[in-house]
Structure 1
Amino acid sequence: MDEFEQMSLGMQLAMMTRGWRAAVDKAMEPLGLTQARWVALLHLSRLGEGTTQSCLAQHVGIELPSLMRTLDCLEKQDLITRHRCDNDRRARTIHFTDEGRVLMQAIQGRSHEVHQHLLQGFSADEVAILEGMIARIASNTVDITQGDTPGCCDKAEERSS
């Protein structure tokens, strides 16, 4: 932990995120799911059945071709089905099979257990404060990445020159 405390806040957040995901990975091992598969299924569950493949890829944060490989595997496992979209024949929507819905309940249960364990010892108020701070950081990153904060990074470059 001494090494962790010496890191910048950004590095600490990145390490914590990797650790959180590794904890969920460990919980998903008995279900026989890779990280790519359980992440795709969780996002599909949150977005809702009938979500398009491209929308799911965007929310997972990966390119569509990478997601397609994962969806192919999930379809072969009989966990999802894909259908042509009525509005756009090129688009395909994703739906859970009955077996996929049962597995999704197990995924959500295990994910919730990890969540509870990792936040053990925090009060509801502390969790709410943490969520608010994380939301503000996320909003600030959107400002920078979408160019809504003119000169933000230019000033940092001037200081380092």
Structure 2
Amino acid sequence: MENDLDMLRELSLAERLGRLHRLWRTVADLELAPLGLTHPRWTALWKLCQRGGRLGQKALAEALEIELPSLMRTLGQLEEQGLIERHCCSQDKRARIVTLTAAGKALLDQIEDRIMVIRRELLTGISPQELAQFEDIVHRISANALGKIAAQNEERE
């Protein structure tokens, strides 16, 4: 009986973490919508910037943890907005390199400002120590999950 209760608590925690992610994303999307950005667009720009502003399409998809076909439409939209450019890779003509344009870099400054305001608002009332502890716990749960996935993949091979 106690194991059942523990399982329910774990499911509840997972559900709450999922809800927190969705709520945070919704708040960010509402704040960034006036800039002409959807979640896929601003996260692609953000990740591209974090990776140096120049990255292969496949590497960007991997960094975003999405499939390349899912990223292609978003990149087309960002290109139409003049925020990125795509060029053939000099080493592999089949590969495409994505780079931020000056307009994309300028927009990222606005995105960063708005994201930092959102972060401050959502973390109101949480001390730096509490936040550090929460981040550590989330990191440990993620590490445990990755270990479990790796072990299951090894068993299958």
The TM tier, using the shorter chain, reads 0.7 to 0.9
Q: Tell me, which stretches of 5 or more residues in structure 2 are unaligned? A: 1-8
2:83 to 79, 85, 98: 79
Letter in 2 for 1:106: Q
The 5 Å alignment of 1:143-154 reads 143-147=147-151
Once the 2 structures are TM-superposed, how far is the Cα of residue 113 of structure 1 from its aligned partner? 0.9
When structure 1 is superposed on structure 2, of 61-70 and 84-93 the one drifting more is 84-93
Aligned-CA RMSD value: 1.9
Q: Tell me, which stretches of 5 or more residues in structure 1 are unaligned? A: 152-161
Paired with 1:147 and 1:88, the residues of 2 have a C-alpha distance of: 35
The answer on 1:28 being equivalent to 2:32 is yes
Letter in 2 for 1:22: T
Paired with 2:127 and 2:68, the residues of 1 have a C-alpha distance of: 39
Letter in 1 for 2:20: M
Per-residue CA distance 1:37-91 (angstroms, 9 max, x = gap): 1111111111122211111111212110110110011001110011222333222
Once the 2 structures are TM-superposed, how far is the Cα of residue 149 of structure 1 from its aligned partner? 9.0
Distance of aligned partners of 1:149 and 1:63 in 2 relative to their CA distance in 1, 3 Å threshold:
closer
1:138 corresponds in structure 2 to 142
TM-score of the pair, normalised by structure 1: 0.84
TM-score of the pair, normalised by structure 2: 0.86
